[in-house]
Amino acid sequence: MTDVEIVEVGPRDGLQNEPRLIPTPHKTALVDALAVAGFRRIEAASFVSPRRVPQMEDGAAVLAAIRRPERTGFVALVPNLRGYEAAHAARVDEIAVFTAASEGFAKANLNCTIAESLDRLAPVVRAAHGDGLPVRGYVSVVTDCPFDGPTAPSAVGRVAAALRDMGCDEISLGETLGRGTPERVEAMLRAVLEELSPDRLAGHFHDTGGRALDNVEVALQHGLRIFDASIAGLGGCPFAPGAAGNVATEALHDRLVALGYHTGLDPVALARAATFARSLREP
């Protein structure tokens, strides 16, 4: 049976878009519940500006309070060297850096051009590798941009190649708006796979349009074996209008199992974590 890894991003990419501030102990409890389910990696925090993403201001406190089972690595998203230094001090196991495949999204989300964002990330990747930490790079809006419209597959390939050349160990392809169809996802993947092998790639699909699991199947057909998901479908990007709807981890797990893949996750613990995650949305 072929293994497929689900990278749980709910505590970061899920909760960051919640309008009500979630108390730190509740975030910690969510991460701990997810770790019990058996994830190899959980994206537990981000160290971005609290002015721009106030929900993530307590990342260091969350990482200080969680249990740390040996089998689980904890990932944090960082935008720059200052964020990296804070994440490293918080004892993360892996960092994630991020850019976009469209200029409109880069300007709205990063306040710079794509080229400028890559220049900003290069010293972060060097610092992480110097400290022995792996780095995953996110590419947002790989099929559609809320500002520029459809994203050219070749643009995604160029940005993914730039992250590879910078030293990113893994690149997650973010279908940020949830508008992508299997046909357009396939075209995008063909362009990216001209630059990188599938074992260096992860799929990150939103389910806003109800096509996330179909898009996962396309990625599986092209050899990808790592997918990001958010427990109970929490979240989206606060800087991408209409981007709510990360694919739910439990739905992705069920589809993968039905297709004959092995995730290594405990479905009972996963269901408990999903129930708790849904309670965090209640006023």
Q: What is the pLDDT of residue 66?
A: 98
Q: What is the pLDDT of residue 243?
A: 53
Q: What is the pLDDT of residue 281?
A: 80
Given a contact cutoff of 8 angstroms between Cβ atoms, the answer to whether 92 and 72 are in contact is no
Q: What is the pLDDT of residue 267?
A: 97
Q: What is the pLDDT of residue 19?
A: 85
Question: pTM for the whole thing?
Answer: 0.96
Q: What is the pLDDT of residue 215?
A: 98
User: In this structure, what token pair is assigned to residue 271?
Assistant: 């269901």
Q: Per-10-residue mean pLDDT for the chain, 283 residues long?
A: 96 90 97 98 96 94 97 97 98 98 95 96 98 98 96 98 98 95 98 98 94 97 98 73 77 98 98 95 67
Q: What's the CATH class of domain 5-279?
A: alpha beta
Q: What is the pLDDT of residue 18?
A: 86
The one-letter amino acid code at 73 reads G
Backbone dihedral angles phi then psi of residue 49, each to the nearest 5 degrees: -60, 125
Q: 112, 145, 168, 237: which is the annotated catalytic residue?
A: 237
Catalytic, 112? Answer: no
What is the rounded end-to-end Cα distance, in angstroms, of the chain? 42
β-strands 135-140, 170-175 pairing: parallel
What separation in angstroms does the CA of 159 have from each of 30, 126, 188, 260?
33, 18, 12, 32
